[in-house]
Structure 1
Amino acid sequence: MPFIRISGLLMMILISQTTLAQSEAGANGVNLKTLIMPGELIQGHEKYEADCANCHSDQGKSKQSSLCLECHEDIKTDVAENKGFHGLSTDVDAKECFQCHTDHKGRDFEPVVLDRNHFNHDNTDFALVGQHKFSHCSECHQQNTAFREAPGDCKGCHENDSPHASNVTQECDQCHEPTGWKAAEFDHSSTQFLLDNKHADVACASCHINSEFAEITVECAGCHALDDVHLGINGRECNDCHTSKSWDTTTFDHDIDTDFKLKGQHADTKCESCHIKPAFEVELSSECESCHQKADIHLGAYGNKCSDCHTENRWQNARFDHNKTLFSLRGEHAQIDCEQCHQVWRDRISDNTRCIDCHRKDDPHLGGLGGECQDCHTNESWSSQVRFNHDFTAMPLVGMHALVTCDECHSQGHYQGVSNECSDCHGRDDPHNGSLGGQCESCHNPNDWGLWVFDHSTQTDFELTGAHEELSCSQCHTEQFTKTQDLGTECADCHLDDDAHRRRFGLDCARCHVTDSFSNIQIQPQ
């Protein structure tokens, strides 16, 4: 009993001294925790031996694993992403690091506890299947390297075993299985070239010479150039005529396989007539002129749409329905020869269908009425059946205007922008000399210039009553007034000189006088 008490006392003293030493460690650089260290660290941790805090936490062993992962970042990543042994194994998931990996056992101690004979490789990123189950660990895991550094692709281990050397860019598992290296199967349909018909019976080496797999052409000519009886004249697209079923049997239908059906005399024409050397390398035009330009007697004047007039049955038999164009031939136009409108040279063909394009020289209006000749003329005759409804213009012709000839208003072919104001045509006939303004229609109408009606009471702001009714227009509207609105409506505006009161009673004459007679006085009540 005394020994136990003494030992406990010594331990308490040692702990208190250690605590005190920790507080002084910053001053003298000595960590007395190393005095109670159970043993040397492993060789990999040797450099951390003087700093216990790298691996141990004052909060206990529950925080120790987080310190381990701060250094072992690759393990930390595996755990976070559920990969590798530490991220996949359920045994590791619930344990702290020190439960499997211990330390302080000396420099030569191996901290990794691994039963190589019973290790479940399914808990890694590379499950062992097929022949891999019988491989020894050292075949993939090299000495003095981490287990995680073992290659995970086939070439990492089998590159020296490949009979293809470096010619194959595909992954090995596209052809091989782990069950057997030599039992190779490859689905050629996964490439750009399907092996069907005769190609299915060809040995791989017939196309893949010297185990070349990377740069193999899929063009027929790549393999069959020596078999080409056309000597390359027909191009390299062999599959346009030949199939993989039989090289000697050709299948080509010009009506189906191209955009140009062979009809009429084209069906009897030899291929070489159109497809000259080198054939098929350049796509031929389906336009007639590409072959028949030299036979065009029109010298291009009618464009390149030969099929509008000609057929494949016979070049000389021409037909053309002008009514299918933008300009139907009717009346006199139906009797005109083509050359009258369509000149010899193509650049003289007009795409315009306006009358003025052909009849500009025949226009007696000198272009004054624009180019819409059909508004007045017809196809039946240029000089007869002329019609024009002036009622659809801004100036309908009524009364005496209907009897006036066009030239009286439209002189020298002037039709556009002609004014419809009365004064612009009848200004010289105005007996008022402009004193009543230019609104002639206020009094006059087109039936007769001498017949006029004007109601001063309704059409102005000054009603004519009493003696004013008997006055002539000129008595108020004298030559000194150029506009009717210049006249005032106050009594004094006209009777100022007749004011016997000399303006002593103001200018409002209507307070005492009436329009019946200036002498009659009727004082209006205030």
Structure 2
Amino acid sequence: MLLLAFHLSGQSPHGEQFAINCADCHTPSGWKPLREDMAFSHETTRFDLEGQHALVDCRSCHSSMVFSEASSECISCHVDVHQQTVGQDCARCHTANNWLVDNVTEIHFDNGFPLVGAHAAVSCFDCHKSETGLRFDRLGNDCVNCHLQDFQATTSPDHVKNNFSTNCADCHDINQIDWNTDKVDHSFFPLTLGHAITDCAQCHTNGTYQNTPTDCVSCHAANFQAALDPNHVQSGFSTDCAACHTTDPGWTPASYQDHDATYFPIYSGKHQGEWTSCAECHTNPANYAEFTCITCHMNPETDDDHTGVTGYTYSSTACLACHPTGDADDVFDHSMTAFPLTGSHLMVDCASCHT
């Protein structure tokens, strides 16, 4: 009896050292059919039967009666429809439950090209193009690998002519679904407030984006020449718009902050807060080189205040001759100069000498 058992074990079609009891799978009536309630559990192997694998007939995977010869690699059962473009481990993308791929985002992240922003909304086949639609060749992580045609076809502005970077992310925001929203580093000339334009061509009028002048008059010459109240050209104003204007809120209101240091203190001293418009002193909008003091300082008050003052005259700009800071107490004293007024010079009008 022992000899017979040894002989039968040696003749097992399942190979040597097959430790599973025959009765776990077979019935006393014969080798076939197999027991419906087989006692053998695939969990004891290194390949647990989950999902669709649990529904597959044993012989679909075990083509040989020697079960240990069956490979646990996916490719041993499944044809590589991707033609070696994604490896042979089906489990990287698929599960045992179905062939649907629901971890594309994780796969791309692991491969160094995260699908974020607009890239998360496109179909796989928009980038991975093949005759079968099943090849997923690695395309590269550079923008130009996919967007070269977009780059070359763009004429407003002309990306090729202007030698723009082929790294789309330098100018475009990946989180936007179109190309129109950009994130150009314009820190050398901040596009804020009044300069917060969206159409580059407003400043880059000739389609060239290198060496565009940043001085105000390069863009605003027409505004400068058309300004008549006051007349910027005739008044000899600076073409540096920033001397009077700001980008917040815009062209108006304007304020010439250098007026104090260059001409006469109006933002400080006695005149601070005493005026609301340049036109109060500069009554001729055609020429702001002209000004008058007597719009505010009227007779007879000034006459009374200057009783007995040598050289006093009531005229449009005479006040400035003696009151250079606008302060009544800060009076110009000719005796402190190299030419004291004595004798007949005492009665001479200032303008007679200071022409």
TM-score range, shorter-chain basis?
Answer: 0.3 to 0.5
Using structure 2 for the length normalisation, give the TM-score: 0.40
Structure with greater helix share of residues? 1
| Structure ID, larger Rg | 1
Query: Which one scores higher on RCO, CA 8 angstroms, separation ≥ 6?
Result: 2
